[in-house]
Structure formats: C-alpha cells, structure tokens
Structure 1
Amino acid sequence: MHLENIVLDAVDPAALGRFWDAALGLEPLGDEPGGHESRLRVPGGPTLDLCLQRVPEPPSEPLRLHLDLAGGDDPEAVVRRLVDLGARPLDIGQGPDVPWTVLADPEGNPFCVIGPRTRHAGAGPLGEIPLDSADPEVDLRFWSALTGWQRWTGPGSEGEWLLRHPSGRGPLLSFCPEPAAKQGKNRMHLDVRLETGDDPVEVGARVLELGGSRFEHDWGELPWSCWRDPSGNELCLLPARSL
C-alpha cells in the first residue's frame, strides 16, 4: 500500500485547483464535472496527487488536516506570491511571534508558509502535512502501517511525531495533539492505494486491529472503502490498479 492522494472538498474544484497548481507547481491531470486532479512529483521521492472534489457549499468546521508550504530562505516572497495568486492573510489566533504565516486559499481553507526548517530539506514545495491527533503515537503507528512511511528521526524531529517516505524526501506527515475533539467530516483527507496482491478484507481487518474504524456514509456504492483512523480522521482505501 502507499499514500496516493490528498483530497480536498471544493465548491469550485477547477478554480481552486488552478490556485493550488500554481502555488505548489503541480502538474495538472485534468478537470472532470465533479473535480480537479494534479500531481506533485518529488525527484527521488514520492508522487502525490491533489484531488479536489465538488461539494455544494464551503465546510465550516475547523481544518484538522492542512498543508504547510516550505518558505525556504525567503518566506515573505513566497507569501507575496501566494497572495498575488488569490490567497489572503488569516488570523486563527496564532499570534505575532510564530515562525510561520497563516493564509487562506480562495475558498477559505487555512494553510501555512513555514520559514526555513532543517527537516524540510529535500521536501520540495510542500514541506509538511500536519494532522490533528488525539494520540499522536497511536496515529503515527497506524499511518506508518498503511503507507509504508517511516518515523522521521532526522534533524528537526526532536519531540515530534513525524513520518516520511522511505526515500527520506518529500513532505513530512506530522501528528499534532488536537486542540479539540473532532467535529463533523474532515474537508481534507488522505487516500491510500492498495497494491496488486493486497487482500482488501485483510487490509480492513488490519485497520481495525490498529485502532481504526469503518466510516459509515449514505453516498451509495463506491469503488473504494471509507474508514477512520484512531482519532476519527477519515481516509479511503483505494483498490489496486488493474494490470
């Protein structure tokens, strides 16, 4: 299995997709009536797709999964470029002294531009994918088992719960103690792709063994299965691709 998609709800997937394509230098894969998909390629590291799926109205619940963009040596220039693309400054109570800038994308989704961090070396434009967690250690083990990503113990990892692609390149998946219990469905979630030979029944049993649960929905029959991690964050298990 491997981590394949970052999925974000969007009222206008094509328009929001154009923003994120420009913000992260993504390779557009195309628009459909219900969505937009783009690809992030990290040389020598993972390939991740950003998938925007249409929803009727902007969600209002706090964002438990968000994106931290690597600001490099000149994060202020990165912020200016993103504002020119349609982002706006956002106050979520972060205060004036934090080493990052909080912005909202054109549909109001919060994200951050982070100043220089040693742990973001080799990450590319997307430095980190922070996920709110009721128990970071439990969630780290859960996601490592599903994705094959490994605990990151390199520079800048002290005292934090971090996973990274086995190549040691690309964004970090970080687990942050949640500020409040989860409410409602996440507007951003992760998709894991099964590999040829993976038994979906065995994988589902493994999810439950690791502390996850089934996500019951009323969306009808889907070609993938929907689950929650131990903290209640939604994820999808996609079937193996046909040969």
Structure 2
Amino acid sequence: MKRVAPGDRISEFVLERRLGEGGFGEVWLAHHHVWRDRRVAVKLPASPEQARLLENEGVLQDLVRHPNAVEVLGLDPTHDPPYLILEYVEGRSLRERLREGRLGQLEAIAVARPLLSALAYAHERGVVHRDLKPGNVLIADDGTVKLADFGLGRLRELERSQLALSATFASRSAPSSGTLAYMAPEQRAGAREIDARADVYAFGILWFEMLTGALPEGREVPSDLRP
C-alpha cells in the first residue's frame, strides 16, 4: 500500500502529523484543504486484511449516528491507500484518564451515562461493538464522551439483510476477537454469534475499573471464564 507523509492529501484533507500507529496501521491528524480549522482523524490500514476491518468499522460506525459516538466523515476501501475519515476528538481516552487513578462516583457516572446511551442506540440499530474497553472511549476536553472503533463490530443478520450494504460486506463479519480482559465468557470461548449482551458484560468490567482503578480479580488470566 502507498505510504503517506505530512502534506499528502486524502480526499479533501491534508495530512498534518501521525497521531498513532500499530498493527492496524496509522491514524493521522488532518485539516480541510480550504478550511484549515476543520480537523479530522484519518485511519490508514497496514494490510489488505486491516483494510477489510477498516471498511467494517466505517460501515458500522456510520450506522451509529449518535452524539456520543465518533462520526464517520468519509470512507474509501478501494483507494490507495484505503482510508476512513473520522471526527477528531480533541482530548484523551478513558485509558489515559485511568492511568491517573480511579474515577470518583460523579465522574464515573458522567462517563457511563453517555456511553450507555451510545451503546443502547447501537444495539437498537443491530450493531454490537464487541471491543468495549477504556482505549475505545474518548473524553473530549469539554467533557463530551465518544464511543470509538467499531472495527471488530458485528451487524445482526436481520439488519444485514435489510440494509443496502455491499455484497462483500454483507457476506462477511469481523473476526471473533476482542480485548481479553473485557470479553464475555461466550466471546472468549469463540462463540459464532455474539450479541449485545457481550457489550453489557464488557461495560460491567469497565464500570468496575472506573470505580476501583483496577480490573476485577482474575480478569487478566486467559483461562478465567468467570462472569
């Protein structure tokens, strides 16, 4: 895939600097080529497999048009390089906040309420996130909470058949994986169908971590399937 550098243009946006990178690829901060104060986050995959997950993320996240979910602004899985353009949330992740220690009750509630609202809306739309964790919860500088990263998400079979999605997308699903410490027992066991209950389970782990600053005992042990 084509490599990019600061100053390169992706769709209407000019890349400024790399915000992060990993096995999935890279995330760049970019601005509109005319209105420079309009900033976005641009995700670029590292491989064809990651490009398929990027398309999965973009399609599912666009279904969750909610004030507390990151907004999708553009998607082209066939471009070189493939890209997903997202709302840029200026702030930090819940994971970064937790590095400072546990949250007080009022602060935890201020995060939980909008997060649960976004999750409930996603479930109403037939979308299961499947990777709810502190790193995928963003907290803007003004306190707004945003649910991010639907790359491992899944759309219920009924909604897949009703929505006008591409045949390629409708015939596949994201791999049955997630982040071990937050996975429900059926998700850890590799169940074929994972539904909204897995997200509710993950939120329970997240809620415990927000209030205590630590994971429940044993959650880091791969063989531990306790609820």
Using structure 2 for the length normalisation, give the TM-score: 0.30
Using structure 1 for the length normalisation, give the TM-score: 0.29
Q: Which has the higher contact order (CA 8 A, sep 6+)?
A: 1
* Greater fraction of residues in strand: 1
* Greater fraction of residues in helix: 2
